[in-house]
Amino acid sequence: MDPFFVSTTISKPREEVFEYLADIANHAEFTDHYLTAWHLTREQSYGAGAGARFRVRAPLTRFSWADVTLAELEPPFRIVEQGQGGKFNRVRLLGTYTLTIGPAKSTKVEYMFETRPVQPSDRLRDMLGGRAWTQRQAAKSMRRLRAILEGDGKRGRRPSIAGG
């Protein structure tokens, strides 16, 4: 699927937002409305190499498990997460958080997400509403991220370590 972008502006310094996003265990808090059953893939949840496995609660999805790893961190500007999901983990996932300084010491967070489906059936699912559904969920997660960091939102549970 072609990449899509969603963004929000958070009334916190860029460094503080980066520190929150660089800990993959925190991602469960603002995405748990559509990404559930989070499990960390290693004990250290912060920084490059930290990863998590989760279930995507999407309509008409038979193979709902996916995983992501924080692949690149450029403090305090950018975080890149790579992963795979779908049947036999054949669909590649790429997400990028870009943080820029906004007005009045705020931070603009822009999230780019794309998938690289291998099979025609995977591409068809994206064309028949999978992309639009994912974009709506990502936009909601950005609103939840803003609410959590500004202290207005309900915080979710942190994930456990897989096998632990």
User: Quick one: tokens of 111?
Assistant: 């999230």
Phi, psi of 21 (to 5 degrees): -75, -25
3-state secondary structure of 5: strand
* pLDDT level of residue 117 (50, 70, 90 thresholds): confident
Burial class (CB in 10 A: 0-12, 13-18, 19+), 95: buried
pLDDT value, residue 15: 96
Q: Look at strands 107-116 and 78-85 and give their pairing.
A: unpaired
Q: Distance between CA 135 and CA 58 in Å, rounded?
A: 12
C-alpha count within 13 angstroms, C-beta hemisphere, residue 53:
11
Q: Please report which confidence band the pLDDT of residue 158 belongs to, taking 50, 70 and 90 as the band edges.
A: confident
Domain ranges of the chain: 4-161
What's the pLDDT at 83? 97
Give the single-character DSSP code of 34. Answer: T
Given a contact cutoff of 8 angstroms between Cβ atoms, the answer to whether 119 and 101 are in contact is no
Q: How confident is the model at residue 122 (pLDDT cuts 50, 70, 90)?
A: low
DSSP string, 42-97: SS--BSTT-EEEEEE--TT-S--EEEEEEEEEETTTEEEEEEEESGGG-EEEEEEE
Beta bridge partners of 113: 4, 95
pLDDT band at 123 (very low <50, low <70, confident <90, very high): low
pLDDT in the model for residue 160 = 73
* CATH dotted code for 4-161: 3.30.530.20
Decide if pLDDT at 33 tops 80.
Answer: yes
pLDDT tens, 52-67? 999 998 877 777 899 9
